Amino acid sequence: MAPYQLPKDAVWLITGCSSGLGYALCEHLTKNTSSRVVATARKPSTLESLPTGPNILKLPLDVTSDSSIADALTTTLKQFGRIDVVVNNAGYSVMGDTETMDMDQARGVMEANFWGAVRVTQRVLPILRESNPKTGVKGGLVVQITSMGGRLAFAGNTFYHAAKFALEGFTEGLAKEMPPEWGIRFLCVEPGGVKTRYAETATSGFDTSARLEVYKNPNTPTNQLLKYKESPEATKNWAEPERVVQVLFEFVERGGEMPLRLPLGSDSWGMQKHALEQGIKELDQLKDVSNSTSGEEQLASIEFLK
């Protein structure tokens, strides 16, 4: 596949722009670039404070609704003619003990964070493959805002991690389905701690008074994580959202070979490196046990998957 090149007048469609990274990315693009921006949110009124002008389109988009997605994409094509970068950013988290987590809450996290991104991605593929070339631009880029939590799991966030792990697996598999000549690329952006409303909203729905007594020990992993997230001293070292989106834009703009994953933040990079090193160590320890179930021919038969 040819190296990626972002058009100067690229059309960015971004979900979940009412706050956080989505809002910051819209602001950065409209104020600092010649890009055209489609800012979306379930409630368009939350987008009023974003800049206005001919290069920004503010639309309602509920990622859990197929008709809402279709309407937003149709309006975008009517206005700008193509879509170059799709950023699946919409989503939220909820903390709690898995044993007593309300299943409606759990399904809601999966529906927004995973299935919402899947719905949008499915519907933009024919646009990137068939509509964009008619405007002289081949393919495009789908950016999935996952998380350090899409590669590593921590206590108290099991359904958030399940959604982000699923999105990373979905994206990795889908990326391998794309013939190079289509020019369609994918990027999983994996931020660590960012100073958005995430920490506040992730813990605000956690009714600690209703927990089972066995989970109330302050030394349990979930309670240690809660204490960390609620500590201003800890979160003051998190990244500024404006810096995160600036780095993301500059990374996409420089083009070249596009990796599948982009950790952002020293916490994300450092924790992932540590986990990979531990994983290699454990894998080596299990080599004899793992290989005892079959001969070398089994590995040789799937060499083509590499």
Q: Which is catalytic among the residues 4, 160, 215, 228?
A: 160
Four-residue CA torsion sign, 53, 69, 144, 149: positive
Q: Could you tell me which residues are beta bridge partners of residue 58? A: 39
Question: How far is 174 from 74, CA to CA, in rounded Å?
Answer: 23
Q: Are 15 and 116 in contact (CB under 8 A)?
A: yes
Amino acid found at 60: P
3 state SS of 146: coil
Asked about 160 being catalytic, the answer comes back as: yes
Cα distances (Å, whole numbers) of residue 58 to 37, 38, 245: 8, 6, 19
CA distance linking residue 226 with residue 209, whole number of Å: 14
Location of structure tokens 């999983």: 188
Name the residues annotated as catalytic: 160
